[in-house]
Amino acid sequence: MRLKQVLIILFLAVPLVVAGANTSGYKITIIDGESAMNSVQGKGAREPVIQVEDKDRKPVAGAYVEFDTPGSGAGAAFANGSTHFATTTNADGMAVASGLANNGVAGAYIILVHVSYQGQSIGELDIHQTNISASLSKNMQQGAKNTSVAVSDTPNNVTISDSVLGIALGDQFIVNGSPTPSNANLLKGTRIQTLEKPVTLYMHDHCEYLVGPHSAVMISPKAVGLENGSVRAKKFGDCKIVYSGIWITGAANADGVAALSGQTLDVASVSGDVRVMNGAGDVISTVSPGTVSSFGPSSTTAASGASAGGGSASIPFKQAVILGTTVAVALASLGLATDAILQPTSGTPTSP
């Protein structure tokens, strides 16, 4: 159904600076939280951040800031369960509406912000957010960019920025060096670092990745650049994994894993043939389901799966993977059982 094939974005991973009210020379700017989209599954919400400056564009400390969310329908509440939150700006002129959580009702809503200073009102502005249903938050791989669409269980239209490549969804991770709970938008150049748990990436072009614990990836159009750790392409779609001049891709529904151990890259296929190419686009290896291949930093050909652990070519694939613990650990952290995925194979594997 067309309505179910739209790219839905969650909240912004990097600050979005939006000019706000300007009363009597004061300037109020939205630093974060504008256009945030929050998954009702995790109940998270992007905490709004505003900044107040005087006529000389110097930060105003001690301004009184009130945030109000809707009393009914789609919305969010603060740590004490209230729809009202008050605070003052810090030395940088910033105020954060901390402890915000969405109320589990899908739809768009407005957070009203009122700012006063030295007993006088100096401005108001609106911060727009949208709660996205749990079912829609997982339909990220399809849809047109820069399009306004009606979503059946989210009653308001959603405008998709052309710069947004997808979303990241997980319990806690780091985006461009900043800790981020729940979910975040993926832009070109976004760096995702995982902590104790994996993080799922839903991207344009039918692509879905799972980044392993204690791993780091860089986002670019149609590609995830592996910096350290492991990543699983649960659906390659029209995307690839990139590492040091090596491209890893496959059929749209192929499922493959790339894991780094030092400067050695291990590539395993869970399902479908996984193709390994050089920077010129030449295929240097095809990794078949249930096998693993290893690549050095200047590989032009692939070592067979049997040599992944450094053993002789007669070692069965499964035993080789156990010796090459990078792949075994990576598979486990990405929700895959080594024995179930990498089946033992007798004889000597054929080199590419």
Indicate the average pLDDT of the chain: 75
pLDDT interval class at 32 (50, 70, 90):
confident
Type of residue at 188: K
187-190-194 Cα angle (round to 5):
130
Q: Model confidence at 181, in pLDDT bands (50, 70, 90)?
A: low
Give me the pLDDT at residue 321, please.
Answer: 52
In the chain, what is the greatest distance between 2 CA atoms, to the nearest angstrom? 83
Q: What is the pLDDT of residue 153?
A: 36
| DSSP per-residue string spanning 74-125 | S-EE-TTS-SEEEEE--TTSEEE-TT-EE-S--EEEEEEEEEEETTEEEEEE
Q: What per-residue confidence (pLDDT) applies to 76? A: 93
**How much is the pLDDT for 325?**
59
Provide the whole-model pTM. Answer: 0.58
CB 265 within 8 A of CB 273: no
Report the DSSP pairing between strands 223-228 and 240-243: parallel
Q: Which of 17-26, 195-204, 263-272, 281-290 has the lowest mean pLDDT?
A: 17-26
Domains of the chain plus CATH, in order, are 10-132 (2.60.40.2550), 163-341 (2.60.120.1440)
Are the beta carbons of 75 and 40 closer than 8 angstroms?
no
pLDDT in tens, 95-137: 999 989 888 887 779 999 999 999 999 999 999 887 776 444 4
Q: Give the whole-angstrom CA distance, residue 181 versus residue 197.
A: 12
Mean pLDDT of all residues in 318-339: 64
Strand residues in 262-327 grouped as ranges (E):
264-271, 274-277, 283-287, 292-295
- Tell me what pLDDT residue 252 has: 87
pLDDT of 338 reads: 66
Give ∠ CA 2-43-215 in degrees, rounded to 5. 85
Out of 87-91, 248-252, 255-259, 345-349, least confident range:
345-349
Q: What is the pLDDT of residues 237-270, one digit of tens each?
A: 889 999 988 999 998 889 999 998 877 888 888 8
Split at pLDDT 50, 70, 90, the class of 200 is: confident
**SS3 label, residue 146:** coil
More confident residue, 43 or 311: 43
